[in-house]
Structure 1
Amino acid sequence: MAASLRVGVIGGGQLARMMVPPAVHLGLDIRVLAETEGSSARLAATAVGDYHDAETVLAFARDVDVITFDHEHVPQDVLAALVEAGVAVHPKPEALFVAQDKLVMRERLAGLGLPVPDWARLETADDLSAFLAEHGGRAVVKTARGGYDGKGVRVVSSPDEVADWFAALADLSTGGALLAEELVEFRRELAQSVARRPSGQIVAWPVVESIQRDGVCAEVIAPAPRSTGRVAETAAEIATTVAAQLDVTGVLAVELFETTDDRLLINELAMRPHNTGHWSIDGSTTSQFEQHLRAVLDLPLGDTTPHAAWSVMVNVLGGPATGSMADRLLALMADEPGAKVHDYGKEPRPGRKVGHVTATGAELDDVVVAARAAAAHFEG
């Protein structure tokens, strides 16, 4: 049955690239609509075009059984055109809309009674002044759309620090708003990934800890150390509730703050495979990429049991200043034979995610050292 199933992925980034191996193993025909030639997912890029253009996307979707995504940025009018044409789209446009707009996300999550930071919609500088006065003089301000990896996020103590953002809002003929959130006091960041089929089956991976540097995920530890049964159960319950109530299909990652007063608050949502789930490729019976393909096709979901007590994933940021990733890989294979490397096929650039490495094992300290040592082969 699976040999005849065709999956179309919009977006040619590393997430689409990492869907290719499990698609091959499952006997699926995977096709990618990439934004540019030479994309990370170029091995499966059967088309290159603008995902903002409905005709381009409809032409790509004509011969596939389901459309899914490498990112959440496909416009709602394009998604509507796909649905109107009878194309199966997973996750559905209604769910994606929540992930596309942070204000909508906060409104929906709060309406469901799920734990989120205190927040407010900002249309003017006076709105921000009032929020700052109520929250100790500091707050996090986010653009409602488009921000990722620390972009579109500022910690401020004055409206002047986002004056350019307010000016940009004033230039929008349709209006707009920013999101203000309390500056949460947290001891660490966690992430809970689940997968859900259209028919309703949901499975979860262990909750993980993510370590951020300069607003970018640098390391992930699976499972999260010192996660009591309550933390793990609460994280899984939150993500399962989000997936079911928002009718999410495919992989859902819920980024969480563990606060200093022992609460879990939802920070962000991603309705696709996510950086915090990359460890599952080498550390879990079923990776998030295989699971996402199974889920969007409404196939039975796989076992998420970890292979080892600990998995540590370290992002390769920037890449080697001299030589190539392939050159550095040869040295790594000799020095750290147990580490698994994933090259995204991207040109090195400061701060850019060009790959990741994963190590697994029985002792956390040893696994952390091995993963960091492996990533160091690709730096400098």
Structure 2
Amino acid sequence: MLKNLIILLVVVTCVLASQESKDSKDKEIRKRTKFNSHLRKHRKNYENLPEEVRVRRRENYLKNLDLIEKHNKEGKHRFKLGSNAYSDRHPERFVDDMCGTKIPQMTRSLPLPPAILASTTPASPAVDWRPNYTQPIVNQGQCACCWAFSAVSVVEAFNEIRGKGMTAMSPQNLVDCDTTNSGCNGGWPRATLDFIKSNYGTKLANSINYPYTSGTTKVAGSCKSPPSVPLNFTTPFQFFLNGNATALKKIISNYGPVAIAMQVSSSGLFQNYKTGIFSDASCPGPNQCGTVNHAMVAVGYGSTAGQEYFIVRNSWGSSWGESGYIRMAMGNTCNVACWAIGVE
């Protein structure tokens, strides 16, 4: 009897071990399948990368996938996450590689004009400049030059909205030639607008004559001098808003799209944003305007079901967020309402 019981226990143990091994293999297969689908969807080829790098990218992707699924299942957030081209990047490394905004030690900020501050000059209830600014979403790639893309977007929008042309300008021109900023190592939108005015007489090459390459090479190239086109602005401006969301609304309403500087945290939420009204508790507090690392362009604001938001244009391609845009909760969410930089 005892012998039979021992045999039975051995058999059961072997069966359970075999099932556990099978489950482990099935789980590994599912992981590989998900990662391979991600690579195909975003046309990524890691065949020439070292094995340890491929494994690390897969682990990053699976961790981000866990974050996405957990966040969406919680059902308490006003925004959803989703897998995108950047979901195989570690959040901290991703921020280092993609966020290149640096506030200069000495920035020239103008006080807000009275018309912006005056309560008698309210902002429009809702503004969306996207129908008037039709340049497609661009992708800065693996170069931390968001400062250049945001400055280019501001002058493109300025020209198109005022009926002065809809030419796509060249951020590569700035990455290569702007000596006041640091190419793929960061910069500041106002500094590059000043550089354009001082060095090019408010002209810049278009994206056909001077195509973007640093997103692939990861470095600035040598400065070239192709034909340039007029940008039609006379004066760059920069307002320090100190978190005043109402002032930012008024500036967007009166001036059009403006560059803003915000803080992208390493929580992975912004990196994997898909849709909805974004907020991130891990961002700096509302009174920490000195902490910013990413430049984008505020193109409008509105509300949904009583929740107000800013509409912000990113430079991470159209597969990120809401076709390249994000709606950020009204207020100073992640320092979005600290700076407004534009031209007139």
Richer in strand (by share) = 1
* Structure possessing the higher relative contact order (Cα contacts under 8 Å, 6 or more residues apart): 2
